[in-house]
Amino acid sequence: MIALALTLLAAEPEPARAELCLAHVNAMIAEASRETGMVAGPSWFIRDWWTDRLPEDASSGALSAEQRMALEASIVARKAVDPDKYRAELQSCADEAIDGGALP
């Protein structure tokens, strides 16, 4: 699975920022849920903020449902390959959403 994800990472251009950040946030939510059974409330607001910023379907940068699932699966590989870059990407996504007003 990680090898497939790494292949996808190498073969595919970087997705639109909203697509990448949504994948990061969804992976963070899934991990928190698996590990603790709880997800902090701000996570949902950040997820919704990025969902609202996804490119419109069929526009440049929009991913299909299959591509979005593959991107979310690749987040695990990103974390395994370069944990520091993974954390920096996730933090950047969270910071951008918070600075943009994601939290009430």
Instruction: Please tell me the distance from the alpha carbon of residue 22 to that of residue 52, in angstroms, as a whole number.
Output: 10
What does the pLDDT read at residue 65? 87
What does the pLDDT read at residue 14? 66
Could you tell me where the DSSP H helices lie in the chain? Answer: 2-11, 17-36, 41-51, 65-81, 83-99
What does the pLDDT read at residue 100? 97
What does the pLDDT read at residue 93? 97
Mean pLDDT of the chain: 87
- What residues of the chain score a pLDDT lower than 50? 4, 7-11
Q: Where are the domains of the chain?
A: 2-99
Instruction: Please tell me the distance from the alpha carbon of residue 79 to that of residue 17, in angstroms, as a whole number.
Output: 17
What does the pLDDT read at residue 8? 47
- Indicate the pTM of the whole model: 0.81
